[in-house]
Amino acid sequence: MSFKLLTSAPAKIILFGEHAVVYGQPALAVPVSQLRAQAEIIPTGQPFRLVASDIDETLPINIDDELVDNALAHMARLTLQTLKVAPPNVSIVVSSQIPLASGLGSGAAVSAALGRAIAFATNGTLSNEQLNRLVYEVEGLHHGTPSGVDNTVIVYERPVYFIREQTLETFSVAEPVHLLIADTGKAALTKVSVGDVRRLHETDPAFTQPLLDAIGRVVQQARTALESGDLPRLGALALENHHLLGQLTVSSPELDTFVQTAINAGAYGAKLSGGGRGGNMIAFVNEQTAPQVESALYAAGATRIIPITIEP
Ligand code: MEV
């Protein structure tokens, strides 16, 4: 009998508060457990090999060379240093079902799965807190100034109400919340949109600060709407959040079209999710409206739609 030694981590989606969370405002995010990054540990008795064939890497990845500018190599090195162990005699093959550069946290999920695999292969213990710190460090090396929300929701795999550098809070919903995650098919790097918002904030804080504060208020109201099951209110807040993000310049014509399409087809509300400029939009629906919103979004050009339900 053969079995696989696998570790994994989920995708994530930001419900409310992206971008403003970088500046200390709260954000609400949930894991998307049906989409995962995985790391398979293959005992070989040979020197450590790290392979990421189906992501975007040539293989194998050299972790010994400090100059290799590769997120997986960094994650492997940091994990080994934290555990104070030598590279194990295994191959680790990293793969992911999570689309790249689409706001679903593919990079953080791959790092988390890899960290867990290295801990497993070396009989080490890596707490979620330690893993979260390492994934954040790697995200920071490759994505500029992340808030930490992505790695946190991915590592803990729980709904989070996240405020930078504050104790983690989770939240629960009063009613099932049905979401459609619709992909524009346009890859967009979070690093770029986060950098653009930063420049805008530096050059014109009088314009951006009220927008960031308004997003923070929307997030708090959205938490109340989630916790009390007020889905129409949640939808209206999603739209408000989308418009505020548009003013921060991180929407796109495709995202605006998707949002309008979802609302015309009966969604409670919709907004871009993650870094924006492309990637994914989320629509808040119910079981009755989901099919028609889904068809309308496909007709508007969605390349993939993932339905998820946040259960009470
Ligand atoms: C990206 O998923 C979320 C952003 O708010 C960036 C961050 O929080 O680091 C855009």
Q: What is the mean pLDDT of the chain?
A: 93
Pocket test for ligand 1, best of 190, 196, 201, 211 (most atoms within 8 A of CB): 190
Please tell me the distance between residue 306's alpha carbon and the centre of ligand 1 in angstroms.
Answer: 20
Residue 105 resides in a domain: yes
Which of 162, 193, 215 represents a domain boundary (last residue)? 162
Q: Is the CB of 190 under 6 A from ligand 1?
A: yes
The per-residue pLDDT for 144 is: 74
The per-residue pLDDT for 56 is: 54
pTM for the complete prediction?
A: 0.94
50 and 94 inside one domain: yes
Q: pLDDT digits over 276-307, tens only? A: 999 999 999 999 999 999 999 999 999 999 99
Residue 302 resides in a domain: yes
Among 7-16, 69-78, 259-268, whose mean pLDDT is lowest? 69-78
Q: What is the CATH number of the domain that holds 264?
A: 3.30.70.890
66 and 115 inside one domain: yes
Nearest CA to ligand 1 atom 1: 274
Q: Is the CB of 150 under 6 A from ligand 1?
A: yes
18 and 130 inside one domain: yes
% of the chain residues with pLDDT over 90: 85
182 and 157 inside one domain: no
Q: pLDDT digits over 139-159, tens only? A: 988 777 899 999 999 999 999
The per-residue pLDDT for 1 is: 45
Per the structure, the count of domains in the chain is: 2
On the question of pLDDT at 15 being above 70, the answer is yes
Please tell me the distance between residue 27's alpha carbon and the centre of ligand 1 in angstroms.
Answer: 9
On the question of pLDDT at 132 being above 80, the answer is yes
Q: What is the CATH number of the domain that holds 154?
A: 3.30.230.10
Atom of ligand 1 nearest to the CA of 105: 2
On the question of pLDDT at 202 being above 80, the answer is yes
On the question of pLDDT at 55 being above 80, the answer is no
Please tell me the distance between residue 14's alpha carbon and the centre of ligand 1 in angstroms.
Answer: 8
The per-residue pLDDT for 264 is: 98
- Structure tokens of 35? 């989409």
% of the chain residues with pLDDT over 70: 94
118 and 191 inside one domain: no
Pocket test for ligand 1, best of 142, 194, 196, 201 (most atoms within 8 A of CB): 194
Spatial contact of 49 and 86, defined as CB atoms under 8 Å apart: no
Which of 162, 193, 219 represents a domain boundary (last residue)? 162
Among 4-8, 25-29, 180-184, 252-256, whose mean pLDDT is lowest? 4-8
157 and 187 inside one domain: no
- Which residue range is the domain that position 72 belongs to? 6-162
Among 32-36, 50-54, 167-171, 195-199, whose mean pLDDT is lowest? 50-54
Please tell me the distance between residue 266's alpha carbon and the centre of ligand 1 in angstroms.
Answer: 28
Nearest CA to ligand 1 atom 9: 146
Please tell me the distance between residue 29's alpha carbon and the centre of ligand 1 in angstroms.
Answer: 10
